[in-house]
Structure 1
Amino acid sequence: MNTASATPVGPAPVWDVINGFTSYWALSAALDLGLFDALAEEAGCGAGLDAGQLAAAVGAAGPGPVTVLAETLVALDLLDAVGDRFRLTPVAERYLVSTAPASMAALVRYSPGPPAAWPGLADTVRTGGPEPSVTADLNALYPALVGATGPTQAGVATAVAAELERRGWWPKQPTVVDLGCGSGAWATALLHARPDGTVIAVDRPDVLPLAERAAGDAGLGDRVVPVAGDYLDAVLPVASADVVVLAHVLRAEPADRARRLLTRAIELAGARGVVVVADYWRPDPPPDPPPARRHDVSAREDDGRAEDEDRGALCRAARHELLLSLTMLASTAGLGVTAAELRAWAEAAGAEVVGSFEPVPRQHVRLIRSRTPEALS
């Protein structure tokens, strides 16, 4: 290759990463200032606010700093600018206004986990786990974090209920076990679809009140049975369930615990029930070459190049999922989960993945059922 005539490699990917840090704090500052809420109050007239009006609305010293922040948000497609006025984009209106049903405003603050986890990420990679102080910070943060996931997860759970209905796996009076119920979004959404059902809601003692409060606020408190304890060994008031939910819990667990947790869910579902797993999947590792090609050097080299290219494409396509897996690594004992691991764990427990869908963007769900003839019929 003639390097002299080759196009120079630019630093854009490096700048994108550096600017990602700035972008996050621009969004955080806008939320802290109430900038999106201020624009939402003016959304009815459709004209938006100019920099002076926006500065007054958020309590800023003057229009200059607000202009820099707002123009940055325009560049990030989180605001729109028409003439001298700033307006909400559809994305901001739906996900960044604090009172919107699907608001992610709180999730922006809590989703990255403890701030102290990130400067220590290199040490976490070296040692295999985060510092105890980071784990303690996460434990303190956890109730707020799971509460912030509620609006997004409610939409996912509602779509899952519709899918179970479509497949004929959603009885009129279902028994649901939600292992890691978090905010209670799944429990309340599923019970809205089946008000005569019962949800056994399992989570840590400091988190469980969130689910109870959500069910109570929805008028469904008498349909939720709270169980405090570890997902793996909490004593449940039922021996089986029609639906077992594992929503964003496997990726935060070490592999052995995640496997055993899935096995428990499959056992609870039995021959007739279904396990619902919602998570962010890391790309599967490249397959081993067939035995006949392992001794063929040229074929092995060709396979290696193809696998490298395929894996690179898979990683780029799974950017969101990999970043969330890295978030798990930074502050938990989990490394995320691959779809291949899920399939293998399910098969070892006598079950199989029978459905896969994306009910809302970037929210992936797998449905697992027993391989017994009764279940497959």
Structure 2
Amino acid sequence: MGFIVGPWLAQAVRAAVDLNLAEHLAGGPRTAAEIAAAEGSDPDATARFLRACASLGLVTATGNGFAGTGTLAVLHRDAPLSLRDLAASQSSPTMWQTWARIPEAIRSGEAQTEKALGMSFFDYLAAHPDQGAIFGAAMASMSAPIIAQAVEVIDVSGARTVVDVGGAHGSYALALLAKHPALDAVVLDLPHAVPGAEAAAAERGLTDRVTAVAGDFFKAVPEGDVLLLKFILHDWADDDAERILLNCRDALRAGGRIVITEIVIDDRATGMAPLMDIAMLATSGSRERTLAEFDALLGRAGLRRTTVTALEPPYSVIEAVAA
């Protein structure tokens, strides 16, 4: 039953984000009527929803209303490593219309986004900037703990320019620049992502060291010493991933390296990784890869793996150079 009602749980979290429960309860308990008045929601439905949230451990019932829990706190927009944007994105109709077709994806081995949304996933985000912004913010929040670990192990000795390939808001590059004052960065992504990257650089006071570039990594990648590919290759089937890597190899300066940050999966994988693999199949016809599959992909693109460093499971940093 827990598996079967999983959609109810995800949509309850989405509703908690939509009603700003974490923000309303950050200062202490409030009644359902107070929250309903603040949000303009139906008072009876809001009370029933808070009762459901109590059953899930998002809130606790008190003598004078409801209080937030530590679980709810991670949905606060200002929480360290907040999951608010991720919850809003992953439980949105944009994602769920595709995931409702997972059985069809498994039967056919093909992506289902065009059948669900009428176009490919990234074309859809480009055509719907509001959804693109939500997705970009979600990827930034999901990436934050992985980036924090990765920047501690990435070798940037001798480098001047890092290129965040498909970098969305440029979170990865910005973290490296904060740690290494001598670096500058280029953030490459589709046009809809550029304003977010520029805003993120300005917020961190790094505008003079960051250039946000609108482009297509299937056509060309800006030249750099360290090219970052974070959660990029798993979006694409092997032929497309090979094209991306070929363009990255062409963009490498002498002595440069490509840094791939991805899930590395194996047949004994548990937890999120095997489920993410199926989500990628349905969304884009792509996959999570084993280390052997990464090596084969790198070899076809004229690259050679030099190191692999495990991060918080199931993520790893793979470094590669021109073969």
Question: TM-score, normalization: structure 2?
Answer: 0.82
CA contact (8 A) 1:201 1:227 kept: yes
Deviations 1:304-335 (A, max 9, x none): xxxxxxx4xx25x1x31232232222232423
Corresponding residue for residue 294 of structure 1: none
Separation in 1, partners of 2:161, 2:315:
23
The amino acid across from 1:109 in the alignment is A
Separation in 2, partners of 1:33, 1:335:
34
Do structure 1's residue 232 and structure 2's residue 190 form an aligned pair?
Answer: no
Deviations 1:135-159 (A, max 9, x none): 2534433343012322342443233
Deviation at 1:49, TM superposition (A): 3.4
- Distance of aligned partners of 1:189 and 1:25 in 2 relative to their CA distance in 1, 3 Å threshold: same
Separation in 2, partners of 1:266, 1:71:
55
- Distance of aligned partners of 1:27 and 1:174 in 2 relative to their CA distance in 1, 3 Å threshold: same
Corresponding residue for residue 311 of structure 2: 358
- Distance of aligned partners of 1:340 and 1:33 in 2 relative to their CA distance in 1, 3 Å threshold: same
Deviation at 1:105, TM superposition (A): 1.1
Match runs of 1:37-76 below 5 Å: 37-42=23-28, 48-62=29-43, 65-76=45-56
Deviations 1:259-308 (A, max 9, x none): 33235445655774443222234x33xxxxxxxxxxxxxxxxxxxxxxxx
The DSSP-based 3-state class of the residue aligned with 2:217 is coil
Separation in 1, partners of 2:249, 2:316:
16
Separation in 1, partners of 2:142, 2:99:
25
Separation in 1, partners of 2:163, 2:251:
8
- Distance of aligned partners of 1:57 and 1:143 in 2 relative to their CA distance in 1, 3 Å threshold: closer
CA contact (8 A) 1:49 1:85 kept: yes
Corresponding residue for residue 11 of structure 1: none
Corresponding residue for residue 99 of structure 2: 118
Corresponding residue for residue 320 of structure 2: 369
Taking only the aligned residue pairs, the percentage that are identical comes to: 26
1:108 to 87, 94, 98: 87
Determine which structure has more spread, i.e. the larger CA radius of gyration. Answer: 1
Do structure 1's residue 194 and structure 2's residue 180 form an aligned pair?
Answer: yes
Separation in 2, partners of 1:16, 1:154:
29
Corresponding residue for residue 79 of structure 1: 59
Gaps of 5+ in 2: none
Corresponding residue for residue 124 of structure 2: 137
Corresponding residue for residue 33 of structure 1: 19
Deviations 1:32-79 (A, max 9, x none): 11111101132xxxxx335455555544443x5444433433443433
Do structure 1's residue 156 and structure 2's residue 137 form an aligned pair?
Answer: no
Corresponding residue for residue 3 of structure 1: none
Separation in 1, partners of 2:134, 2:286:
20
Do structure 1's residue 19 and structure 2's residue 5 form an aligned pair?
Answer: yes
The amino acid across from 1:119 in the alignment is A
Deviation at 1:207, TM superposition (A): 1.6
Moved more, 344-353 or 139-148: 344-353
Corresponding residue for residue 273 of structure 2: 321
Corresponding residue for residue 278 of structure 1: 261
Corresponding residue for residue 288 of structure 1: none
1:257 to 222, 240, 244: 240
The amino acid across from 1:115 in the alignment is W
Separation in 2, partners of 1:280, 1:77:
29
Corresponding residue for residue 99 of structure 1: 78
The DSSP-based 3-state class of the residue aligned with 2:192 is coil
CA contact (8 A) 1:134 1:331 kept: no
The DSSP-based 3-state class of the residue aligned with 1:41 is coil
Separation in 2, partners of 1:227, 1:39:
40
The amino acid across from 1:368 in the alignment is E
Separation in 2, partners of 1:181, 1:209:
12
Separation in 2, partners of 1:59, 1:30:
14
Separation in 2, partners of 1:59, 1:39:
16
Separation in 1, partners of 2:88, 2:101:
19
Moved more, 191-200 or 114-123: 114-123
Separation in 2, partners of 1:351, 1:320:
28
- Distance of aligned partners of 1:336 and 1:220 in 2 relative to their CA distance in 1, 3 Å threshold: same
The DSSP-based 3-state class of the residue aligned with 1:245 is strand
CA contact (8 A) 2:165 2:221 kept: no
The amino acid across from 2:318 in the alignment is L
Corresponding residue for residue 8 of structure 1: none
- Distance of aligned partners of 1:363 and 1:276 in 2 relative to their CA distance in 1, 3 Å threshold: farther
Gaps of 5+ in 1: 1-14, 43-47, 285-310, 373-377
The DSSP-based 3-state class of the residue aligned with 1:207 is helix
Moved more, 337-346 or 81-90: 81-90
Deviations 1:144-181 (A, max 9, x none): 301232234244323322223xxxx2337631011111
